[in-house]
């Protein structure tokens, strides 16, 4: 799950493919991922893992790092 | 509301009684009653509407809990709430559109619809209740006790102009309220209210005092005055609404309640999407969660996702402000900005283009300021600002803002909270002097 999320985020959102992200890199609060673009991340999670994460859970507080994302995905 | 003479005495008395009550359930009941009393003082008719909507929404939530058809019941609830909003706020606007269409066919009759009264805080209340029902449907929150829900809907400190708080955040605070009043509540509230009053009564109202005549009669003033008035409105509306939010957040803290932040230095955003993460945060989060995401789900068309969704969602966000085309256009302007930004991100990524932060910030501020001209229906000033003078003044105004807001006030505020609060409060009282113009966002 972690590898798939990192690969998707790097390809879809990061302007520089050489930037490395870890499971604790802050993605939303640091501005790496634009909040209006998060819908494609939600769609990816739905298609790839079969989980629909409610929009209010996809916030800078609870969905900011890969580690937090995995925790939320596992809850639903 | 906060500039009303009776607000602060009412707040202090309510806070004192609230903390004298022995149990949290009694406190919540008292806070709800006080909130209804407050709404009644400003708009007696609104009390019936708020009460009816609260009972209706809670009944729908209870029905959702018992039934398996939660999707259908959720839709019934949302449609019911939106119909009430349309009935009170948009009926005249819709009749105007229908009449314009009918005017093409001379033989057809024209609708004459008497507009109903607009209950106080109805737009904010409906948005809160839509989020409540949708969050229950999405299993983000449970329906809670009726008393907690009624308190969430009517809480007088945030009733009139937000922040549009979510039940998910307020519910645990009402359920597990602290047993005793804490000194930190007073420290926080005093500082925040003083800061809010300063932003509203000194900064926003005095800017308004000087620029309103220019906005009303742009032809009577030279180009430089029009340019100054044009940019100063960006600061007037920011200080006005952020000041309001400071007072709302500070007042709520006196009851031990933590309300979400509504602003985060919006004019320092480096793009329009980031601006909406910093400006009226509770509204932009609402638009994102309950319009943007549902409209985008299960759609694959790139044009729909990158153009139509932002423009339609932001256009509706504009319409929420008031039933007039200027607000729809203002929202669509921001939607267009978000759409273009997504194309720009792809283009800059492909071509490895990076823009200095200061240029991005100034460009975003300029874009937002142009939007305020549409919002205020002041296109008469547009011609004055699309000039070299306009661009130079934009940069100066924005740099001044950075200097004052980013560097000085927050720094003093952190180190000398009490002294800064007293100075700001004194400044607000001394400089009040009748320039008070009411809250811009209070009318929505």
The residue segments making up the domain with residue A14 are: 2-75
* DSSP single-letter state for residue B386: S
Tell me the per-residue pLDDT of B334-372, one tens digit each, with 9 for 90 and over: 999 999 998 888 888 778 888 888 888 889 998 998 899
Contact between B55 and B42 under an 8 Å Cβ cutoff? The reply is: no
Residue of B nearest to A59 (CA): B285
Q: Phi/psi of residue A38, each to 5°?
A: -65, -20
Question: Does residue B132 contact residue B167 with C-beta atoms inside 8 Å?
Answer: yes
Chain B positions touching A36 (Cβ under 8 A) are 273, 276, 288, 292, 310, 338, 342
- Residue B201 carries which DSSP code? I
Are the beta carbons of B290 and B131 closer than 8 angstroms?
A: yes
Contact A2, A70 (CB under 8 A): yes
Q: Tens digits of per-residue pLDDT, B82-129? A: 999 998 888 877 877 887 777 777 666 666 666 667 888 899 999 999
Exposure of B61 by Cβ count < 10 A (0-12 exposed, 13-18 middle, 19+ buried)? buried
- Residue B401 in this model has a pLDDT that exceeds 70: no
Whether this model's ipTM surpasses 0.85 comes out as no
* Chain B residue numbers touching A57 (CB-CB < 8 A): 140
Q: In this predicted structure, which of B12-21, B39-48, B223-232 has the lowest mean pLDDT?
A: B223-232
Q: How many domains are there within chain A?
A: 1
Whole-structure pTM value:
0.84
Cα gap B331→B320, rounded to integer Å: 10
CATH of the domain at A21: 1.10.1200.10
Q: Are B153 and B50 in contact (CB under 8 A)?
A: yes
Interior angle at CA B443, CA B441 and CA B444, nearest 5: 70
- Please report, for chain B, how many H helices and E strands are present, in that order: 22, 0
Q: Is A35's CB within 8 Å of B293's CB? A: no
Query: Which of A11, A56, A72 is the best substitution to test chain B (most B C-beta atoms within 10 A)?
Result: A56
Which of B33 and B351 is assigned the larger pLDDT?
Answer: B33
Of the candidates B380, B292, B384, the one whose C-alpha atom is nearest the C-alpha of residue B331 is B292
Which DSSP symbol is given to B114? P
SS3 of B231-296: the string is HHHHHHHHHHHHHHHHHHHHHHHCCCCCCCCCCCCHHHCCCHHHHHHHCCHHHHHHHHHHHHHHHH
User: Is residue B83 packed enough to be buried (19+ CB in 10 Å), middle (13-18) or exposed (0-12)?
Assistant: exposed
Contact assignment for B297 to A43 by CB distance below 8 Å: yes
> How confident is the model over B301-322, as pLDDT tens digits?
888 888 899 999 999 999 998 8
A39 interaction partners in chain B (CB closer than 8 Å)? 292-293, 296-297, 305
């Amino acid at each position: 799950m972690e590898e798939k999320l990192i690969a998707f985020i790097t390809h879809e959102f990061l302007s520089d493919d050489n930037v490395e992200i870890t499971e604790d890199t802050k993605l939303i609060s640091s501005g790496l991922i634009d909040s209006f673009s998060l819908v494609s991340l939600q769609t990816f999670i739905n298609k790839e893992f079969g989980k629909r994460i409610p929009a209010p859970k996809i916030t800078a507080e609870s969905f900011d790092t890969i580690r937090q994302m995995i925790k939320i995905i596992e809850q639903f | 509301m906060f500039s009303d003479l009776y607000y602060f005495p009412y707040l202090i008395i309510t806070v004192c009684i609230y903390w004298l009550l022995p149990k949290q359930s009694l406190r919540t009941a008292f806070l709800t009653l006080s909130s209804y009393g407050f709404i009644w003082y400003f708009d007696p008719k609104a009390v019936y509407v708020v009460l009816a909507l609260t009972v209706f929404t809670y009944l729908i939530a209870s029905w959702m809990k018992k039934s398996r058809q939660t999707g259908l019941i959720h839709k019934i609830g949302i449609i019911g709430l939106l119909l009430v909003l349309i009935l009170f706020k948009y009926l005249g606007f819709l009749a105007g559109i229908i009449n314009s269409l009918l005017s093409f066919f001379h033989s057809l009759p024209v609708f004459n619809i008497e507009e109903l009264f607009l209950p106080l805080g109805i737009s904010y209340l409906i948005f809160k209740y839509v989020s409540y029902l949708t969050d229950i449907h999405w299993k983000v929150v449970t329906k809670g006790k009726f008393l907690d829900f009624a308190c969430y809907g009517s809480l007088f400190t945030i009733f009139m102009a937000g922040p549009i708080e979510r039940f998910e955040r307020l519910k645990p605070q009402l359920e597990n309220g602290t047993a005793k009043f804490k000194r930190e509540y007073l420290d926080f509230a005093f500082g925040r209210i003083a800061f809010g009053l300063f932003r509203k009564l000194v900064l926003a109202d005095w800017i308004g005092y000087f620029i309103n005549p220019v906005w009303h009669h742009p032809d009577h003033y030279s180009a430089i005055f029009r340019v100054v008035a044009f940019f100063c409105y960006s600061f007037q509306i920011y200080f006005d609404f952020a000041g309001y939010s400071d007072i709302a957040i500070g007042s709520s803290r006196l009851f031990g309640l933590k309300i979400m932040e509504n602003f985060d230095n919006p004019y320092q955003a480096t793009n329009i999407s980031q601006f909406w993460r910093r400006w009226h945060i509770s509204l932009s989060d609402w638009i994102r969660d309950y319009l943007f995401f549902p409209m985008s789900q299960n759609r694959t068309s790139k044009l729909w996702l990158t153009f139509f969704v932002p423009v339609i969602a932001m256009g509706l966000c504009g319409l929420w402000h008031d039933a007039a085309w200027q607000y729809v256009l203002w929202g669509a302007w921001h939607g267009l900005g978000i759409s273009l930004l997504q194309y720009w991100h792809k283009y800059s990524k492909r071509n490895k283009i990076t823009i200095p932060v200061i240029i991005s910030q100034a460009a975003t501020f300029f874009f937002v300021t142009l939007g305020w001209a549409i919002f205020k229906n002041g296109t008469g000033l547009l011609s004055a600002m699309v000039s070299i003078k306009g661009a130079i003044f934009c940069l100066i105004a924005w740099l001044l803002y950075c200097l004052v807001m980013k560097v000085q006030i927050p720094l003093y505020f952190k180190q000398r909270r009490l002294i800064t609060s007293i100075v700001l409060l004194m400044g607000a009282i001394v400089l009040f002097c009748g320039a008070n113009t009411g809250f811009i966002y209070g009318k929505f």
